[in-house]
Amino acid sequence: MPAYLNAIEKGVSTVMVSYSSWNGVKMHSNHKLITGYLKNKLNFTGFVISDYDGLDRITTPWGANYTYSVLTGILAGIDMVMVPFNYTIFIDTLTSLVNQKYVPMTRIDDAVRRILRVKFTAGLFEHPNANYSLVNQLGSQEHRDLAREAVRKTLVLLKNGKSDQTPLLPLSKKAGKILVAGTHADDLGNQCGGWTITWQGQSGNNETIGTTILDGIKKTVDPTTQVVYNENPDSNFVKSGQFSYAIVLVGEPPYAEFVGDNLNDLKILEPGPAIITNVCGSVKCVVVLITGRPVVIEPYVPMVDALVAGWLPGTEGQGVADVLFGDHGFTGKLSRTWFKTVDQLPMNVGDSHYDPAVVVVVEVVVVAFSPSPSNWWSMLN
């Protein structure tokens, strides 16, 4: 619980309960963790809110015994309930449970006290409406520059070179002709993933504004370098193109929450695998994975020269190009081991069945001075 303790010490005001279960107990009904641990042991003084329709999901099927769900959730320690539709039923149900003394007024008083404390502290009674004075800064260049920096710092180098003598990265900016391919090369929606303007997000460049990774590449390379973009080239096109190297950007379509659940698979959808095969089987290539999580990549690792976890870089695709071409070095690290197959899960360093999917190939260079980030890669070469 270190992250929670740190947040509570910093004064976080609200905690949302998740849909998940712990040892078979739905979190929305877990008195031991919500009240016993969060409120009592960690001394959390803010309020606990349910997730969207969270009480309904305590039972299987959802909403099978709504009275039981309300009773269990409130007694577990939930102070504010997110009811998106039938809120009058919730109010009537909880009122009845209080009148029948199944829910004591001390529990209601505790919830109300916590909610009012947060609202008073936030100044909502004095200033109930949003402050629009900073709206003109949303999406400002300063914000985009910070987002671009975040992209650079989160990229993870998974492989660099088919042997330790032949690293591909950083890429040359002065190559004669390069190929950029893949479903995620010129698609802001795919870069951003879910919760972008809409809940699930949407592929394409119509939902928001920003810089695609393709645009970032074009802005980074030398003016004399020819950048050819082909989303899904066949092998003949690649072989006949006389490309110095290729950048392949593939990954997952946008999704949010349970819509993206697919633990039994976690594979890159077509045409992603075909693009990797067609391109990397014909020319030196770096594959950048645009995903919200690790995916199965083991079948493709041997054929690629370099492999990068790009995650979801959002609107600032220039940050990906910054690192691929060596203006900044790789600094991101995996928080957990990247698996070969989903059958290995859960797996992490130290487990008896530890068998990671990729091994990073890096060069270690000792220098007698401190280079600036802008020329770090050039000195490695």
Whether 322 sits among the annotated catalytic residues: the reply is: no
| Amino acid, single-letter form, for residue 252 | E
Catalytic residue among 51, 186, 187, 322: 51
What is the residue whose two structure tokens read 């069945």? 353
Whether 355 sits among the annotated catalytic residues: the reply is: no
Q: Is-contact 315 144, C-beta < 8 A? A: yes
Catalytic residue among 234, 257, 265, 270: 257
| φ and ψ at residue 15, rounded to 5 degrees | -130, 130
Instruction: Give the SS3 label for residue 289.
Output: strand
Bridge partners, 306 (sequence order)? 160, 286
CA distances from 158 to 129, 345, 356 (A): 47, 19, 11
Quickly count: other Cβ atoms within 10 Å of residue 91's Cβ: 12
Q: Is-contact 340 355, C-beta < 8 A? A: yes
Nearest CA to 279 out of 251, 253, 304, 308 is that of 304
Bridge partners, 156 (sequence order)? 309
Instruction: Give the SS3 label for residue 179.
Output: strand
Q: Which two tokens stand for residue 115?
A: 């909610």
- Residue 157 DSSP label: E
Bridge partners, 287 (sequence order)? 248, 307
Q: Can you tell me the distance from the alpha carbon of 294 to that of 93, in angstroms, rounded to the nearest whole number?
A: 43
HSE-up of 122 (CA within 13 Å, CB side)?
Answer: 17
Bridge partners, 25 (sequence order)? 22
For residue 165, count CB atoms less than 10 angstroms from its CB and return exposed for 0-12, middle for 13-18, buried for 19 or more.
Answer: exposed
Catalytic residues: 51, 257
